[in-house]
Amino acid sequence: MSFYRVPGKGRVDLSRPVTFTFDGKTCAGGRGDTVASALLAQGTHLMGRSFKYHRPRGAVAAGSEEPNALIGTRRGPGRFEPNTRATVQEIYEGLQTRSQNTCPSLKFDVGAVNDAAYMLFSAGFYYKTFMWPRSFWDKVYEPFVRAAAGLGVCPSEEDPDHYASRNLHCDVLVVGAGPTGIAAARAASADGLCVVLVDEHSEAGGTLLSEPQAVIDGVPAWDWLARELAALKDTGVKVMTRTTAIAYYHQNMVGLCEKLTDHLAQLPDDTPRERLWRVRAGQVVLAQGALEKPLVFHGNDRPGIMLAGSAQTYLNRYGVLVGRRPVVVTSHDSAWFAAFDLADAGAQVQAIVDLRADVPEALMQQARARGIPLKLSHTATATRGRLRVKSIRVNPVTGTGVGSPEVIACDAVLMSGGWTPSLHLFSHTRGKLAWDDDRTTFLPGETPEACVIAGASRGLWGIKAALNDGAAKAREAAAALGRAGSAPPYAVAQDRTGSGVSARELPTDLSPGRAKAFVDFQNDVTAKDLRLAVREGMRSIEHVKRYTTNGMATDQGKMSNINGLNIAADALGRKQPQVGLTTFRPPYTPTTFGAFAGYHRGAHFEVTRKTRIDAWAESHGAVFEPVGQWRRARYFPQTGETMDDAVRRECAATRAGVGIFDASTLGKIEVVGPDAVEFMNRMYTNPWNRLGVGRCRYGLLLGEDGYIRDDGVIGRMGQDRFHVTTTTGGAAHVLNMMEDYLQTEWPDLNVWLTSTTEQWSTIALNGPDAAKLLQPLTDVTLTEDAFPHMSCTTCTVAGMPARLFRVSFTGEIGFEINVPAPMGRALWDTLWRAGQPLGITAYGTETMHVLRAEKGYIIVGQDTDGTVTPHDAGMGWAVGAQKPDFVGKRGLARPDLVAEGRKQLVGLLTDDGSKLEEGAQIVFDPAQAIPMTMVGHVTSSYDTGTTGASIALALVAGGHARLGETVHIPMPDRTIAARIVPTVFVDPDNARIRIPAPETEGAAA
Amino acid sequence: MNAPILAEVPLAHSAAATIRRAAPRARASLRLRGDLAPFEAALGLTLSGRLGSRADAGPREGLRLGPDEWMLHTTPDDLATVTSALAPLYADHPHSLVDVSGREVTVVIEGPRAAELLTIGCARDIDAIPDGAARRTVFDGAAVILWRDSATRFRIDVWNSFAPHLLDLLVIGTRELAAETS
């Protein structure tokens, strides 16, 4: 038994010893210990260094509000986590922990010079200190700030754990499993409602775990707790421990983070480390309790100085005395009970120092009975002890001022500045807060969510009050769901009710200007900083907060916000609500990225959509590229080929023979109904009335603003049926846009839209031999007369039902064959085999891009950027000017869209034959002064395809009227001159697109 | 119940649930408004139920997805019969019948904890879906139709290209649930 462990006290099972390491030294504890309780049990208070001044710090709390005792935890490669609170982390066999902000060691730290230089680091120091001289920024200040910034060390290895998420629906979610929450869950579940009770601790019970003396309905608290938890389980209540309600989102969705393995020595298979629950609850009962406030006095941050309630928790829950000779400093009755518990467990309490003159007589009697010296109307003014508190200096406070000091030797200081209701989740709901002057704190008011708040989190005190309020509020929640709920009134003996006063920084006889009286322990903000911020003009607490960083640390000011507000309000001479309260934002406690990412990491990070032909491409060595969610084959390199080699070969083969291309990812929409043609007229720029059945047309889709949004070939399969294709990336957007217009603007139209993107596998054949290859496989006569360019039909291809389109995105004879998706691979294999004598070549998206660019066909999203009109793109021909209306028609008439000098799509050929860089800016005069006037940019650029020259498309101001002119593209190393040319580089007369006359056909057959 | 024939080898199996791909079915999206009676007569299916309700007759299953939208499942052979039964109605009762057999695949999730397994990817309250009903919803980011055949048996229709992603999560979840001790 260690010196500070009290036999027979606490819930830690010392018969099941656990060893772990702290800064390399082996430490022992029992099952149920946290790192903090195990270290305190061996007398170690020093657990870390503070963030700014590197002051030695120990645990000041016993729960998740802990600002000081942040450690790094590690269990093998990749499993390292910084900034874990030692007060929450349970120990397990083999756990490795390290202190933080220490260099070279926890006990001797060079960063502590900041502490001596603290006058430099006053409020807003980073706004002031690093201002001058300017030249110091790069070499001195920035490296310093970067080295000093950040808490803990960022993990550098990949996290081997996995993370999970689940959705959960329930009638009532109860947050916090203290007496309030347990009573609430009991009451709410009595009438058959589905209830979930969650608590961040390793076991349910909350305050009851720290107050075993209470007797509830005649049963000792811990027996009552066990009985109630069993009863809740029997009623079907889902009780979740190690589960933090991190956020309250809209419409009663509450995020929970459940930690599943961080307390286990052996990691079980298939079990995630953490699981994020998205709970949608009919009603939420918030029972988060209250958090104790520290007292603000010079030297209130030394190791060994902690919250009185936490000391009581360490004793009663963990069986650990945080000191053998503690002094209690308080302004609230609750700390007196902590003193009594410690005294009863063998500690020699050196004194109870109370700021108040009036303390209930019953408390004083109990103190006297234990022989504890009392110092009422006293203040604490300083402490001593480098790595652990050794003494405290206290002074009497009289009506005229602070009297002479007295130094009391001690090994711990237990402080209590009263309690702050935990309103974090309530604040997430946009709940209004009401200032309570008597209790000097904010209490919950109205909330827009279906939510009640009960117990200590709305300012009630004592176990009986908590139990009965929990039950009452749960009955309110049940009533809102149409149920009665139930719960008899609870009777509690040995309850510890009490009250207190709230203080600003404590009165002192020392210089307040030199006091290190900490308000925010984690960000090292002192009372002096807050007053300085007010002196320098900050009036709102929001500004004071940002200027001083008070409450901006990872603990979100759980301990510091109200103290900070009281001090700022005092400095301003105004009431606290007039100074304001900063809002709390999710998450309640720091949460891992893993928990938020859940299953979405590695191969499951995002959907990768693959076509039915993807496996063929993979087995033929394709290099893929992502297009939207799809992965598409970019090119098919043969042995030793670079991308440029492969693309040149694929381009040449397609122009010379026949190329095969998987176009299945193109978006497809079936438009059916008597008003289909009218719908098409209104959506697309083109006229559709005179498009015959069996014909297709290139369609251009604009936004209301007149800019190009999408395009694709559209076939009229029947009088009332269109087969619309869209770009690969735009498919979902186009369908949504169409449905939007249909449902909101034109509900009168009898037409329906069905996504058929994945109904069809689409294979494109392009090249002079395309018809030759396809003819033997289909019943359609593939001649210029029988099936001219821009025809479509329903037919069979290789015995499969098909929709055949004669279209070309390459300038060659082209077909797109659509077959039911599952048949796609079979058709591809058939065409591949049949094409072998013709030297069929599979090509990817890169070759497709080159071949279309050579013909000046645009790619929406590459040659357009959301500010390009059809006229800018040289496609005014696609706009049905005679049509009464279409989406974007009015937009096209806007003055700036018809103005002269707009950027227009042109071709570019460089004088030296070099390839331009896509995105490169263009200027007219390379000799002009910098910054130059930029007149456009390169949108597409390719190395020699089949034209023997590198070609580019570009948007150039007034480009259509500048054919033949030279423009300049400044690059980092040189400026490239290029000539503006038409966008069509190959076969401007479209001769190649025609299927030659029958004698050639005969030869093919 | 028109249980689809199951592919033989389960994709995942644990004490919690078994995941299988269903055998291919013919599917068609039926869109129409106005008088449902002629369509009900032609199909032999009730179409007028609440959204999410199902009706079946012989090989055919009909699911009402929206005020003017139904999903029909049947055997591949029967789809031609359905098409020709509805075609004569078009002139007086315009509608849209689009074959989407190739668009989707069906996954069968069966087992004592099948409903719980679905909570890893679906935000809907699974327990609130009655047996014999179905819902269009989202599973792990993919639009799906979720059919509840019984307390312990579900089907998910999902577009083919999303299926591997969805199955991947179901396989992970099947193991994860089985590993839970309490």
| Same domain as B171, residue B114 | yes
**How much is the pLDDT for B4?**
47
Beta bridge partners, A525, equal A520
Percent of chain B clearing pLDDT 90 (strictly above) = 92
**How much is the pLDDT for A112?**
67
B62 conformational bin, left if phi > 0, alpha if psi -120 to 50, beta if neither? beta
| Same domain as B118, residue B54 | no
**How much is the pLDDT for A148?**
65
- Report yes or no on B36 lying in a domain: yes
Best of B103, B118, B129, B180 to substitute, by most chain A Cβ atoms within 10 angstroms, is: B103
- Answer for the pair A589, A64: CB distance below 8 angstroms, yes or no: yes
Q: Which CATH class is domain A606-663+759-783+805-857?
A: alpha beta
**Domain boundaries along the sequence of chain A:** 13-128, 163-290+421-493, 294-417, 503-574, 606-663+759-783+805-857, 900-989
Q: First-to-last CA distance in chain B?
A: 33
**How much is the pLDDT for A21?**
97
Query: pLDDT of A340-355, one tens digit each?
Result: 999 999 999 999 999 9
Range A732-736 average pLDDT = 97
**How much is the pLDDT for A52?**
82
For residue B169, the chain A residues in CB contact (below 8 A) are 599, 604
From CA A657, how far away is CA A841, in angstroms rounded? 8
Instruction: Give the list of residues 6+ apart from residue A369 with CB closer than 8 angstroms, or none.
Output: none
Range A784-793 average pLDDT = 97
Look at residues B73, B99, B125 and tell me which one is the last residue of a structural domain: B99
Task: Give me the sheet containing A326-330, strands edge to edge.
Answer: A305-307, A412-416, A326-330, A351-354, A374-376
CATH number at residue B41: 3.30.70.1520
- Residue A752 to residue B128, Cβ atoms within 8 A: no
Percent of chain A clearing pLDDT 90 (strictly above) = 86
Which residue in chain A has the smallest CA separation from B100? Answer: A759
Percent of chain A clearing pLDDT 70 (strictly above) = 96
Which backbone phi and psi does A649 adopt, to 5 degrees?
-65, -45
Give CATH for domain A13-128. 3.10.20.440
Query: pLDDT of A892-924, one tens digit each?
Result: 999 999 999 999 999 999 999 999 999 999 999
Q: Does A612 touch chain B (CB under 8 A)?
A: yes
- Report yes or no on B70 lying in a domain: yes
DSSP reduced 3-state for A918: coil
| Same domain as B95, residue B129 | no
Range B40-53 average pLDDT = 97
Range A438-453 average pLDDT = 92
For residue B164, the chain A residues in CB contact (below 8 A) are 608, 610
Nearest to A607 among B31, B96, B142 (CB): B142
Best of A269, A600, A758 to substitute, by most chain B Cβ atoms within 10 angstroms, is: A758
Distance from CA of B101 to the nearest CA of A (A): 7
Q: Does A599 touch chain B (CB under 8 A)?
A: yes
Q: Does A670 touch chain B (CB under 8 A)?
A: yes
Q: How would residue A1005 be classed by pLDDT, with cut points 50, 70 and 90?
A: very low
Average pLDDT of chain B to the nearest whole number: 94
For residue A820, the chain B residues in CB contact (below 8 A) are 99, 101-102
Average pLDDT of chain A to the nearest whole number: 93
- Answer for the pair B156, B93: CB distance below 8 angstroms, yes or no: no
Count of other CB atoms within 10 angstroms of residue A834: 15
Query: pLDDT of A667-716, one tens digit each?
Result: 999 999 999 999 999 999 999 999 999 999 999 999 999 999 999 999 99
From CA A182, how far away is CA A508, in angstroms rounded? 43
| A527 has pLDDT over 60 | yes
The pTM is what? 0.92
Least confident of A538-552, A821-835, B119-133: A538-552
- Report yes or no on B4 lying in a domain: no
Q: Does A1002 touch chain B (CB under 8 A)?
A: no
For residue B100, the chain A residues in CB contact (below 8 A) are 754, 756, 759
Query: pLDDT of A917-974, one tens digit each?
Result: 999 999 999 999 999 999 999 999 998 778 888 999 999 999 999 999 999 999 999 9
More confident residue, A233 or A132: A233
Q: Does A672 touch chain B (CB under 8 A)?
A: yes
ipTM: 0.95
Instruction: State which residues form the domain around B161.
Output: 12-23+103-179
More confident residue, A106 or A420: A420
Range A544-551 average pLDDT = 91
Same CATH topology for A163-290+421-493 and A294-417: the answer is: yes
Token pair in block for residue A252? 């009663």
Look at residues B44, B78, B99 and tell me which one is the last residue of a structural domain: B99
| A890 has pLDDT over 90 | yes
Establish, for the pair of chains A and B, how many residue pairs have beta carbons separated by less than 8 Å: 103
Range A616-643 average pLDDT = 97
| B2 has pLDDT over 60 | no
Query: pLDDT of A381-392, one tens digit each?
Result: 999 998 999 999
**How much is the pLDDT for A135?**
73
CATH number at residue B117: 3.30.1360.120
For residue B24, the chain A residues in CB contact (below 8 A) are 822
From CA A225, how far away is CA A201, in angstroms rounded? 15
- Answer for the pair A702, A872: CB distance below 8 angstroms, yes or no: no
Q: What's the fold here for domain A163-290+421-493?
A: FAD/NAD(P)-binding domain (3.50.50)
Q: What's the fold here for domain A503-574?
A: Arc Repressor Mutant, subunit A (1.10.10)
Q: How would residue B3 be classed by pLDDT, with cut points 50, 70 and 90?
A: very low
Q: Which CATH class is domain A294-417?
A: alpha beta
For residue A755, the chain B residues in CB contact (below 8 A) are 103
Range A196-221 average pLDDT = 97
Q: Does A755 touch chain B (CB under 8 A)?
A: yes
Q: In this structure, which amino acid lies at residue B38?
A: P
Nearest to A610 among B94, B119, B161 (CB): B161
Which residue in chain A has the smallest CA separation from B103? Answer: A759
Least confident of A106-110, A216-220, A438-442: A106-110
**How much is the pLDDT for A712?**
97
Query: pLDDT of A10-34, one tens digit each?
Result: 999 999 999 999 999 999 999 999 9
Count of other CB atoms within 10 angstroms of residue A749: 16
Range A148-166 average pLDDT = 86
Look at residues B57, B74, B99 and tell me which one is the last residue of a structural domain: B99
Which backbone phi and psi does B160 adopt, to 5 degrees?
-50, -45
| Same domain as B59, residue B120 | no
Which residue in chain B has the smallest CA separation from A675? Answer: B94
Best of B25, B65, B160, B177 to substitute, by most chain A Cβ atoms within 10 angstroms, is: B160
| A993 has pLDDT over 90 | yes
Nearest Cα residue to B15 out of B109, B112, B107: B112
C-alpha distances in Å from residue A45, one per residue of A40, A309, A987: 6, 16, 83
- Residue A168 to residue B179, Cβ atoms within 8 A: no
**How much is the pLDDT for A207?**
97
How many folded domains does chain B comprise? 2
The domain A900-989 belongs to what CATH superfamily?
Aminomethyltransferase beta-barrel domains (2.40.30.110)
Nearest Cα residue to A247 out of A608, A589, A639: A589
From CA A764, how far away is CA A773, in angstroms rounded? 12
Nearest to A270 among B99, B101, B179 (CB): B179
Nearest to B123 among A167, A599, A720 (CB): A167
From CA B65, how far away is CA B177, in angstroms rounded? 31
**How much is the pLDDT for A667?**
97
Q: Does A252 touch chain B (CB under 8 A)?
A: no
Residues of chain B with a CB closer than 8 angstroms to some CB in chain A: 24, 29, 31, 33, 68, 94-104, 119-120, 122-125, 127-128, 140-142, 159-162, 164-165, 168-169, 172, 175-176, 178-180
**How much is the pLDDT for A149?**
63
Q: How would residue A1004 be classed by pLDDT, with cut points 50, 70 and 90?
A: very low
